A and B are shown apart, each in its own frame.
Chain A
């Protein structure tokens, strides 16, 4: 795990996330959000969880980001730009960040380097999903079906 890769990915991810949170144009923010998730997937690759990184790119870039830009287009009348900005939110976010950083730095037991691990192959993940995690998997399936139907009903035209 090289530190150069880490620094590059961290700067890219945080810059894209910050752009997603602060840019005025909605569409730019949505595209920066997609870029931030690519950076996050790179983090997952760096940490050796390739499958999760690929799944993240697949689901977020392929589906969620496109869904967001479509929603922006469908609710276009009053947007394009978002003017309201609440400065209290900045203060709260900064306070949360400082608190989290302080507590992380104060905990000495987590300043460890990564141990050597057996590569996490797709096969192992599949075996885990099909043995110990079958019930969660089924529940997620039911949840996704319910979400699909719920989203459809929400956006269907109302009958007069």
Chain B
């Protein structure tokens, strides 16, 4: 029974495709691909609408307000109203802007975000497409984000846009290194770049209780935290929303965008956030696996989306809690702390593997990480401890 509920979407797709039985193979292939694309867009655009209203409501609760509550029950129709408003707004293109590049930038950004979502498995046998180098695909396609942001900033022909794009590229480049290097230990331990295999490797339970998710190993926990913070930066969220800091540079690379193009930017940002958190859940939190054997009755996709929502809640929570960081502090921590720690995770994973993947490996890798962490914090702190506080201003 639970098996059939678990596979209900896979079976529904098979049933739809069975209507085409007898037609040429390429037609069935195209239909299968189209169904996958449609489902991907339907699910994640709904999630986007839902999260955008939930974010406002949760933020409001954190600030002792109500948040949107007029449109529909509990204000849940707010995204529809927003969408209509965005659609009927005038689309202003600056006179001196580079029209083609100005138009292409949001399109490229949204396309990249949707493509990266495609490799993540949402449930048992549920991934939009499987490719041998899935993780590499995620980062290869995701690296086009920087070019898209640059295109937006340059084509707008506005100094705020250009400044925002420069900041965005600087921080994305710096944090892409820890983001990718923290994935390496997982890939090393599993021995595959395929998301499906990585999820399958986290299937069992130690002592029958603790699931074998990588986040429960010392190197996995450290890598997960580093990955999460880097993901926060990559999706330009508070506290790392320097590129679009409203109080400094209007809206960064989105300054000259209005109407539906602005909505596309907004959507791409959220889809990118889903993609990074989905990858974090896949790599470290066991993907669609249940946290305990008894709970395996619950369908796999529900577990995946639960984990995703927990991560997204943390994103919103951080946004409601932390102030914006200064860009030089952000760069400092990326190069001086996060990058060495990411390399340490790789070494600790190797230690864990060669010490037998058991309790001994667990302790040894914890030892490695603890030593590097304390050494780094001492080295980074030494100069600052007795120095007078220096204020820096823009020159």
Contact = CB atoms under 8 A, between A and B. Distances in A.
Interface of A: 27-28, 31, 34, 50-51, 54-55, 57-58, 61-63, 65-66, 69-70, 73, 119, 121-123
Contacts of B141: 57
Contacts of A34: 147
A73 B150 CA distance: 11
Given A31-B101, A66-B147, A66-B169, A50 B133 contact: yes
B193 interface: yes
5 contacts: A27-B98, A50-B131, A57-B141, A62-B139, A69-B154
A57 B56 CA distance: 37
A58 B133 contact: no
Contacts of B191: 123
A123 B192 contact: yes
Contacts of B139: 58, 62
Mostly helix, strand, loop or mixed at chain B's interface? helix
Mostly helix, strand, loop or mixed at chain A's interface? helix
Contact of B150 (A28, A69, A119, A123): A69
Interface of B: 98, 101, 131-133, 136-137, 139-141, 143-144, 146-147, 150-151, 154, 169, 173, 176, 191-193
A55 B192 CA distance: 16
B132 A61 contact: no
A122 B133 contact: yes
Contacts of B146: 62, 66
A31 B151 contact: yes
A27 B101 contact: yes
A81 to B, nearest CB: 13
Given A51-B133, A66-B150, A122-B132, 18 more contacts: A27-B98, A27-B101, A27-B154, A28-B101, A31-B101, A50-B132, A54-B136, A54-B137, A54-B140, A55-B136, A57-B141, A57-B143, A62-B140, A62-B143, A66-B147, A69-B150, A119-B132, A122-B136
A104 B11 CA distance: 51
A28 B131 CA distance: 32
A27 B98 CA distance: 10
Contacts of A50: 131-133
A7 B147 CA distance: 27
A140 B132 CA distance: 25
Contacts of A55: 136, 140
Nearest to B169: A66
A51 B147 contact: no
B150 to A, nearest CB: 6
A61 B137 CA distance: 13
5 tightest A-B CB contacts, nearest first: A62-B143, A58-B140, A57-B140, A54-B140, A54-B136
A51 B140 CA distance: 10
B154 A61 contact: no
A58 B136 contact: yes
Nearest to B143: A62
A76 B134 CA distance: 39
Contacts of B154: 27, 69, 73
A31 B150 CA distance: 11
A61 B140 CA distance: 8
Contacts of A73: 154
A73 B165 CA distance: 12
A40 to B, nearest CB: 13
Nearest to B176: A62
Contact of A62 (B137, B144, B193): B144
B103 to A, nearest CB: 13
A61 B133 contact: no
A119 B192 CA distance: 15
A57 B115 CA distance: 14
Contacts of B101: 27-28, 31
Contact of A54 (B133, B169, B192): B133
A65 B147 contact: yes
B154 to A, nearest CB: 6
B151 A61 contact: no
A107 B143 CA distance: 41
A93 B144 CA distance: 31
Contacts of B98: 27
A121 to B, nearest CB: 5
Contacts of A121: 132
Contacts of A57: 140-141, 143-144
B25 to A, nearest CB: 12
A127 to B, nearest CB: 11
A62 B146 CA distance: 7
